[in-house]
Amino acid sequence: MRDIKLVVFHHTGVPTQNQSVKGIEEAHLARGFDKIGYHYIVDFEGTIHEGRKESEVGAHAKGFNTPSLGICCFGAYGLNNLQAVSLLVLADTLAKKYKLSPWDFLRHKDLARTLCPAYDIDWLKQKL
């Protein structure tokens, strides 16, 4: 099992329904990644899609990919309730699996100069 120390949260930055996991993958392939850069993608219905395998190093947070997993949510302004429920389930599963503390969960903007993601994760950390 890969040694995971961090989970990094992202958003797509796209507010509308006009997006898909396949579209994200195509954009990442166009950037030269060999597959989608995130490990999990949460759509507007709260469905969790698998991107890269957890065993594979992702391509989502420059300088922090090796010890981390990347999770991306559809949207640009925040999470809806369906996404929030799924994100908590996913985070809780990963926290137990990799023995992570709430402090090991970070937003992309905590690591780089970016506005990604728009949503807060303090509420989520408090529930882990």
Give the interface with Zn ion as residue ranges (CB under 5 A): 10, 108, 116
Give the sheet arrangement for strand 40-42, strand by strand.
Answer: 48-50, 40-42, 68-73, 6-11, 105-107
Contact 122, 106 (CB under 8 A): no
Q: Structure tokens of 114?
A: 């970016």
Smallest gap from Cβ 71 to Zn ion, in A, equals 10
Residue closer to Zn ion by CB (options 1, 94) is 94
Smallest gap from Cβ 116 to Zn ion, in A, equals 3
Smallest gap from Cβ 111 to Zn ion, in A, equals 9
Rounded to the nearest angstrom, the gap between the alpha carbon of residue 36 and the centroid of all alpha carbons in its chain is 12
Q: Given its phi and psi angles, is residue 46 left (phi above 0), alpha (psi -120 to 50 degrees) or beta?
A: left
Smallest gap from Cβ 60 to Zn ion, in A, equals 6
Q: Structure tokens of 69?
A: 């997993």
Contact 100, 7 (CB under 8 A): yes
Residue closer to Zn ion by CB (options 4, 73) is 73
Residue closer to Zn ion by CB (options 46, 117) is 117
Residue closer to Zn ion by CB (options 23, 96) is 23
